[in-house]
């Protein structure tokens, strides 16, 4: 018995300095950088094992471990990506010349150095004109390394490069790019997007606003899709016709109730599209004020609802080209918006404006099949509008492989009448004949730059098809920007109550079109 007591005393004496040493290490290293956090985590775990009955030590260990895990997660979660865009090709004598644009985006929280890009699919190619990189072809691979001025990509920055490659014969090999950082293949470690908790959704939910009596919403109620048609609460064909804002970040002054009422009462519009850019300067996923942008969306929904109009919340991808680039942000945004407006009968969701560049329908469909269930978890039957490849022109590709297992899905076609004519209209006809509901969520009657000459004849051809097929539409854009597609004259500063003299030529045409449409 005495021997056992002696052994316990010895163990107790030995434990005291171990615990004291651990506490000292926790105190002195607790506020160090990531490496220090890892040391604290290891030491405090040892402390817990040595003093399992000390509750304070256990609490300190859990807190420190959580901090270390959070810090390490942020450190690992880089957001670098590389894109290759086919910028066209032509024949030069007996050679075929292909031009490629390459872009690296660094959306991580720190600068990235020692980068390299390897792209497969260049066998037999000869490098011609090139810029912003050092290019070498070996076997099938093109390797790009930095030049002296772009060896470091600053956090939030990007590098754009390009080259021309000559071949003896045409070369349509798929170009697959791999990014290396610090000599190792870069693998983006993505976490599951954090959506709102049930409590947060309940707290943020908007109290439903009752529309004015006799308005489109009051008369026609919640819309749905039946085959190729948008239909109202009674199952009758219904055509949404209205106006899209320009980027909310740049022209916020046009999101006001008086402006929407002017469009409703004097133009005959029944829908407003709220265009929230994602990747441009001031965009939601770039450097924009997210709180302010969401506030403008919420104001726009409120004004439209009070006036009994329908409203489209538009995730306006453009410069980001592929909706998957900001998919995590889209998931969180649409989870919040669809929870907030789950009980509203007039809110539609446009989940990707104009995919472009090398983005395929497969890319878009994969993105849509991620985002749509997030909306459906909150709002089971709102209309969801999905963009299509090539700036939402290739709706025929969607018709060949439509999204399945979901109701009330529409697909976009965008057109600019002076540029897009029979070739794009034939794609709409193909999609319509295959049973897709096509939605013209953006268009203008000038050329695709938004600032060229107006083609009234092509515009009339488009509207012959729109009316024949009962396609819904929103014209671009509600602003006074000095360009042809702006609906307000650039010399007009009024943000509502416009007379015809306050409108651009495109604005006068669209007002007349909406007001005379049956």
Distance CA(351)–CA(387), nearest Å, equals 7
The answer to whether the CB of 444 falls within 8 A of the CB of 416 is yes
pLDDT digits (tens, 9 = 90+) for 148-193: 888 899 887 888 899 999 999 888 777 888 888 888 888 755 455 6
The answer to whether the CB of 514 falls within 8 A of the CB of 267 is yes
Distance CA(261)–CA(383), nearest Å, equals 23
Phi/psi zone of residue 197: left (φ > 0), alpha (ψ -120 to 50 degrees), beta? beta
Q: pLDDT-derived band of residue 78, with 50, 70 and 90 as boundaries?
A: low
pLDDT attached to residue 188: 57
Distance CA(100)–CA(113), nearest Å, equals 23
pLDDT digits (tens, 9 = 90+) for 230-271: 999 999 999 999 999 999 999 999 999 999 999 999 999 999
The closest alpha carbon to 51, from 16, 75, 81, belongs to 16
Q: What is the mean pLDDT of residues 18-45?
A: 39
For residue 138, the SS3 value is strand
Task: For residue 172, list its beta bridge partners.
Answer: none
Q: pLDDT-derived band of residue 108, with 50, 70 and 90 as boundaries?
A: confident
DSSP symbol at 253 = G
DSSP symbol at 501 = G
Q: What is the mean pLDDT of residues 130-138?
A: 92
Q: Which residues contact 236 (CB under 8 A, 6 or more apart)?
A: none
The answer to whether the CB of 104 falls within 8 A of the CB of 125 is no
The closest alpha carbon to 253, from 507, 502, 488, belongs to 488
The answer to whether the CB of 346 falls within 8 A of the CB of 311 is yes
Q: What is the mean pLDDT of residues 303-320?
A: 98
Give, in degrees to the nearest 5, the angle at Cα 339 between 334 and 341: 95
pLDDT attached to residue 192: 55
Distance CA(456)–CA(450), nearest Å, equals 15
How does 163-200 read in b/e, with b if 16+ C-beta sit within 10 Å?
A: bbbbbeeebeeebebebbbeeeebeeeeeeeebbeeee
pLDDT attached to residue 518: 67
pLDDT attached to residue 111: 85
For residue 12, the SS3 value is helix
Distance CA(204)–CA(404), nearest Å, equals 31
Q: How many helices, marked H, and strands, marked E, lie in the chain?
A: 14, 21
Instruction: List strand residue ranges (DSSP E) for 303-456, in order.
Output: 310-316, 347-350, 384-386, 409-416, 438-444
Radius of gyration of the chain (CA): 29
pTM of the full predicted structure?
0.68
Question: Any idea which of 179-193, 269-283, 425-439, 472-486 has the lowest mean pLDDT?
Answer: 179-193
Phi, psi of 435 (to 5 degrees): 100, 10
Distance CA(362)–CA(353), nearest Å, equals 16
Catalytic amino acids? 354, 442
pLDDT attached to residue 237: 98
Q: Which residue has the tokens 């060229």?
A: 452
- E strand or H helix that includes residue 492: none
pLDDT attached to residue 91: 83
What tokens were used for 187? 């693998």
Distance CA(271)–CA(290), nearest Å, equals 24
Q: pLDDT-derived band of residue 20, with 50, 70 and 90 as boundaries?
A: very low
Q: pLDDT-derived band of residue 405, with 50, 70 and 90 as boundaries?
A: very high
- E strand or H helix that includes residue 256: none
Q: What is the mean pLDDT of residues 284-308?
A: 97
């Amino acid at each position: 018995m005495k021997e056992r007591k002696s052994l316990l005393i010895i163990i107790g004496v030995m434990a005291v300095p171990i615990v004291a040493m651990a506490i000292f290490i926790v105190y002195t290293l607790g506020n160090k950088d990531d490496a220090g956090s890892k040391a604290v985590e290891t030491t405090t775990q040892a402390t817990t094992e040595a003093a399992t009955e000390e509750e304070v030590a256990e609490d300190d260990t859990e807190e420190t471990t959580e901090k270390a895990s959070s810090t390490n997660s942020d450190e690992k979660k880089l957001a670098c990506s590389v894109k290759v865009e086919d910028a066209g090709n032509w024949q030069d004598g007996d050679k075929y010349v292909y031009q490629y644009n390459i872009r690296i985006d660094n959306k991580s929280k720190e600068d990235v150095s020692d980068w390299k890009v390897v792209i497969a699919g260049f066998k037999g190619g000869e490098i011609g004109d090139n810029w912003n990189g050092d290019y070498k072809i070996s076997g099938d691979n093109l390797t790009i390394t930095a030049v002296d001025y772009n060896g470091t990509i600053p956090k939030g920055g990007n590098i754009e490069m390009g080259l021309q490659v000559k071949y003896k014969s045409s070369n349509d090999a798929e170009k697959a790019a791999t990014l290396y950082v610090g000599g190792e293949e870069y693998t983006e470690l993505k976490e599951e997007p954090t959506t709102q908790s049930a409590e947060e959704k309940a707290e943020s939910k908007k109290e439903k606003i009752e529309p004015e009596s006799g308005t489109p919403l009051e008369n026609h109620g919640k819309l749905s899709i039946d085959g190729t048609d948008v239909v109202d609460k009674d199952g009758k064909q219904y055509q949404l016709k209205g106006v899209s804002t320009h980027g909310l970040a740049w022209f916020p002054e046009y999101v006001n109730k008086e402006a929407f009422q002017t469009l409703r009462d004097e133009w005959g519009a029944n829908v407003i599209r709220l265009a929230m850019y994602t990747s441009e300067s001031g965009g939601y996923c770039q450097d924009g004020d997210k709180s302010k942008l969401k506030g403008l969306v919420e104001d726009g929904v409120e004004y439209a609802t009070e006036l009994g109009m329908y409203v489209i919340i538009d995730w306006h991808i453009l410069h980001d080209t592929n909706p998957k680039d900001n998919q995590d942000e889209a998931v969180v945004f649409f989870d919040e918006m669809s929870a907030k407006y789950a009980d509203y009968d007039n809110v539609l969701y446009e989940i990707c404006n104009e995919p472009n560049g090398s983005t395929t329908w497969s890319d878009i469909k994969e993105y849509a099949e991620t985002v749509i269930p997030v909306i459906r978890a909150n709002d089971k039957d709102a209309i969801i509008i999905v963009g299509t490849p090539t700036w939402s022109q290739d709706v025929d590709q969607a018709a060949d492989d439509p999204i399945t297992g979901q109701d009330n899905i529409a697909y976009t076609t965008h057109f600019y009448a002076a540029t897009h004519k029979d070739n794009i209209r034939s794609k709409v006809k193909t999609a319509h004949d295959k049973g897709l509901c096509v939605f013209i969520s953006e268009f203008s009657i000038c050329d695709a730059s938004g600032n060229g000459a107006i083609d009234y004849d092509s515009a009339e051809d488009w509207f012959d098809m729109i009316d024949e097929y009962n396609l819904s539409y929103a014209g671009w854009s509600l602003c006074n920007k000095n360009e042809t597609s702006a609906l307000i004259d650039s010399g007009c500063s009024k943000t509502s109550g416009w007379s015809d003299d306050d409108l651009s030529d495109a604005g006068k045409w669209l007002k007349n079109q909406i007001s005379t449409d049956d």
